[in-house]
Structure 1
Amino acid sequence: MLEIDLIEKCKNNDRKSQMRLYDMYCDAMFCIAMRYVKSTDDAQDVMQEAFIKAFQKLNQFKAEVTFGAWLKRIVINKCLDFLKSKHQLQVSIEETNIQLADDSDWSVDEEIDVSEVKKAIETLPEKYKYVVMLYLIEGYDHEEISQILEISNSTSRTHLLRGKQKLKSLLKEKEYGKRY
């Protein structure tokens, strides 16, 4: 059965189709939730809430993007809502010294692997960490990030620029730490 047919059945409240769609996406959505909330129990709760919302709002899905991309955005928004409710996400609204970020240069030393980059991202200040994660890991652009985090486009760019600078600095420290 094609995914679009499955989605149409889900729109008609077909529970078996909803379960099949859930099974298709639950592992990937759990991994996304874990990147943000860090606790297995919390990630499962957030993921469940996201699926419930997705099934409730399924009539709003217009297939302009893939279902997975649409669902991923719901999961990320639920994660950020969860973090806000726990006061773990406090993004400063506007910064007075706005700079435009050069998003193109993300190069690091070849000896640094992806797991080291992810660990370094986790140590970034909150206002930079979530912009960097949404941009670098999730693949959102500044317009999408600004909507998700409820910040301006220029603030998103500034936080990305500063987060990238901080990230490179952290990775450089790690690199020099290895050599001495």
Structure 2
Amino acid sequence: MPRVDSVITATQERRLARGAARGDRRALRVLYEEYSEQLFAVAYRLTESSAEAQDVLHDVFCRLPAAVQSFDGKRPLGPWLRAVTVRAALKHLRSPRRRREIPIVSIPHERRTGESPELSVLDSITAERALSSLPEELRIVVVLKEIEGYSHAEIGELLQISRSTSEGRLYTARKLLHSELLR
């Protein structure tokens, strides 16, 4: 989702993508300013580490001039950049040189009317701990499906697994999350 104060049209996106493909620093800066926040959030949810998410974001933007050459301009740039970031984060997760840190971010949680802010924070912490307790292959499917909104077909493509495997992992993850949250 682009920033609220931003109004980049599809034509401007295509022009920025062409500029980025040529290595135009201005175009890269505009794309970074426009999308870095949401791309960082995607990377963070997958890696559970701000340092690793920064590494992923850095890799995405360093490789963007080459990668954007495959952008066809027929669909919005934001979702394409999210998919590039997901692939970069998954590659990073498989790297033997990964950094490790204790996750402290909370899953976005909308407070219900009358609910105290303290309860909302506690719910978020509990949900984050439950999510972090999942095996990585299950946690990634939950993040991509439930938080990022990808379909099982898209998740299958990104993870190079079948749609039914994605569905099965989500089912298993939900069962584990349910039992973890009932503790």
So what's the TM-score if we normalise by structure 1?
0.73
Gapped regions of structure 1 (runs ≥ 5): 89-109, 174-180
On the 8 A contact 2:130/2:180 being kept in 1, the answer is: yes
**Aligned-CA RMSD value:** 2.4
Could you tell me which residue of structure 2 aligns to residue 8 of structure 1?
Answer: 18
Q: What letter corresponds to residue 10 of structure 1 in structure 2?
A: A
Once the two structures are TM-superposed, the CA of residue 114 in structure 1 deviates from its matched residue by: 4.4
Q: Aligned match of 1:158 in 161, 165, 168?
A: 168
Q: Secondary structure at the match of 1:151?
A: coil
Once the two structures are TM-superposed, the CA of residue 135 in structure 1 deviates from its matched residue by: 0.7
Cα pair distance change 1:45/1:121, threshold 3 Å: same
Q: What letter corresponds to residue 41 of structure 1 in structure 2?
A: A
Write the deviation string for residues 98-156 of structure 1: whole angstroms up to 9, x where unpaired: xxxxxxxxxxxx97744532331111122211111111111111111112112222111
On the 8 A contact 1:54/1:71 being kept in 2, the answer is: no
On the 8 A contact 1:121/1:129 being kept in 2, the answer is: yes
Q: Determine whether 1:145 maps to 2:155.
A: yes
Q: Determine whether 1:127 maps to 2:155.
A: no
Q: Distance in 1 between matches of 2:73 and 2:126?
A: 36
Q: Aligned match of 1:68 in 73, 78, 85?
A: 78
Gapped regions of structure 2 (runs ≥ 5): 1-7, 99-114
Q: What letter corresponds to residue 80 of structure 2 in structure 1?
A: W
Write the deviation string for residues 3-52 of structure 1: whole angstroms up to 9, x where unpaired: 33323333333221211111211222122222222333322221111123
Q: How many residues align?
A: 152
Q: Distance in 2 between matches of 1:73 and 1:63?
A: 14
Q: What letter corresponds to residue 146 of structure 1 in structure 2?
A: G
Query: Equivalences for 1:1-180 in 2 at 5 Å?
Result: 2-86=12-96, 113-173=123-183
Q: What letter corresponds to residue 23 of structure 2 in structure 1?
A: N
So what's the TM-score if we normalise by structure 2?
0.72
